[in-house]
Homo-oligomer: A and B are copies of this chain.
Amino acid sequence: MSGPSLWAWGTVERFPDDAGRRRLATMARALTGGADAALLPLPRDEDARVPTARIAAPAALAELASAAPHDRAHHAHGRAYPDLVRGFRGDFGAAPDVVLRPRDAAEVAACLDWCSDARVACVPYGGGTSVVGGVEVAAERRADFAGVASLDLERLDGLHEVDAVSLAVRAGAGTRGPALERALAAHGLTLRHYPQSFEHSTLGGWIATRAGGHFATGPTHIDDFVEAITAVTPRGVVATRRLPASGAGPAPERLWIGSEGALGVITEAWMRVQRKPRFRAAATVKYRRFDDAASAARALAQSGLRPANCRVLDPAECLLHQVALDGTTVMLLGFESADHDQGPALARALELAADHGGTVASGPTISDDASEVGGGAGEAGTWKKAFVEAPYLQSALVSIGVMADTFETACTWDRFASFHAAVTAAAHDALRRTVGGGLVSCRFTHVYPDGPAPYYTFVGPAKVGDELAAWREVKVAVSEALHAAGGTITHHHAVGRTHRPWYDRERPALFGDVLRAAKRALDPAGVLNPGVLVD
């Protein structure tokens, strides 16, 4: 078997074999103290349960439409922990009735016309990597519609235009990370936007979900890179003007950045790109106390040095990613530039790191060629490999009866210490209540002058058959805690359906009214991705 897995992250080839799963089970037992990790039988595609379709595409859309159960199952949901569990069980009850694959913006409009007229819920679909229920209409909402169509944008792909003078490119929304970077590399360019889902997710998906990228400071959010967007709505096309900046009213593109498919279908975008970095400098710094590392990260974020990498991994995170096993906190520091030596910036960063009790564990390494710093060696290399592999690992853990998931947020520095204590306590409490306990780790993915973006992982033994209830209880507990402590319900995973209860409380109520009014103006039939952002 090969190709995309029906239930797990990524491709079938990358899923570990039984020997790999046994090694993982041993490690999981060591990490969580659980005794139950054991190899469960893997599901077979032919056992996937897909409901009978309620509606079929009209003849005019026949060329774009697929009603094959396997195809529909592939579009049933994203790759959140509950999605993995349901997929592992062969439960594809959330499958759409039809998958539509338009080839251009006009065909997207035709699909929206049909959905609006026939009252078919229309779910824009990029890479299908949502971890927040972003591509699945909730069971209780399905009855409001004649059916559900998954609007797969994979054919709207490719690099269409390169403006090498302005360093901007026009690309299709369905372009996946690796294809985009390959096409850009031919011009010596890069978007330099690497969310953890990079291999599978798409440009349109990144924009629709306000993806974060993996750099710690400076331009990394997809928001920073969008120069102009084109979106198709049921009421027509929206195309913003290519501009480096403007003060003409509220920024129009900002309404669609983060609109999660509820306000239109992003079909293409002009994106700001960069010349490929050549100058690099990196080092790893260890701290005896996590709090000291956090203070150092704050100093770095407020210094104006703009490190590309300023990840802080707490002791549990170091353990999980096999970066350090001795209870220290590790900070991975890296600088990159296409233009100038990064040695001076790293040197100053290391001074700041030392001011807060850090000691250099490896590096500094300074280079001025195209090789990646720490790409293969040292803590940074170990961590980077683990970063890309983590979603694969999560799927494999499901297959050995281990619950593993992540959640991420951001808050201001002044409240971080109490925030972190409250959130960590809530996670531990919930794990104890539901599965007898487990591991909770934290890293900083991004640091801003006014606050960090902490990213938490929790791992515990799963109660097979009862995974979803346990997960839900942990998820609710940590979400309540981080909302109460002043964080955001999501820094870069998006809202989807999973985060809606807390999002609704986080956003100003009147902004909710504005979003509802915007949705009525753009999507009068209310068919676009119902249930995200507003009802």
A contacts, CB < 8 Å to B: 163, 165-168, 209-212, 221, 223, 227, 233, 235-252, 254-260, 263, 272, 274-275, 298, 302-305, 337-341, 344, 348, 410-414, 446, 448-453, 486-495, 499, 503, 506-511, 513-518, 520-522, 533
A274 partner residues in chain B, CB cutoff 8 A: 302, 449
A492 partner residues in chain B, CB cutoff 8 A: 247
Give chain B nearest CB distance to A4 CB in angstroms.
Answer: 25
Known: A235-B510, A518-B514. A246 touches B410 (CB 8 A): yes
A446 partner residues in chain B, CB cutoff 8 A: 245
A515 partner residues in chain B, CB cutoff 8 A: 249-250
Across the interface, do A245 and B491 meet the contact criterion of CB distance under 8 Å?
A: yes
Across the interface, do A251 and B244 meet the contact criterion of CB distance under 8 Å?
A: no
Q: For the complex, what is the distance from the CA of A303 to the CA of B279, rounded to whole Å?
A: 12
A236 partner residues in chain B, CB cutoff 8 A: 509-510
Q: For the complex, what is the distance from the CA of A165 to the CA of B452, rounded to whole Å?
A: 12
Across the interface, do A247 and B210 meet the contact criterion of CB distance under 8 Å?
A: yes
A251 partner residues in chain B, CB cutoff 8 A: 223, 254, 257-258
Across the interface, do A248 and B453 meet the contact criterion of CB distance under 8 Å?
A: no
A272 partner residues in chain B, CB cutoff 8 A: 449-450
Query: Which of A246, A453, A518, A522 counts the most chain B CB atoms within 10 A?
Result: A246
User: A244 contacts which of B223, B260, B448 (Cβ < 8 Å)?
Assistant: B448
With A167-B450, A247-B492, A250-B259 already in contact, 15 other A-B pairs whose C-beta atoms are closer than 8 Å: A167-B302, A167-B449, A209-B247, A237-B510, A238-B510, A240-B511, A242-B486, A244-B410, A244-B448, A244-B450, A245-B451, A248-B488, A248-B495, A249-B533, A304-B338
Across the interface, do B522 and A255 meet the contact criterion of CB distance under 8 Å?
A: no
| 16 interchain pairs, CB-CB under 8 A | A165-B298, A165-B413, A166-B450, A167-B302, A167-B449, A235-B513, A236-B509, A240-B508, A242-B412, A242-B486, A245-B410, A247-B494, A249-B515, A250-B254, A274-B449, A305-B340
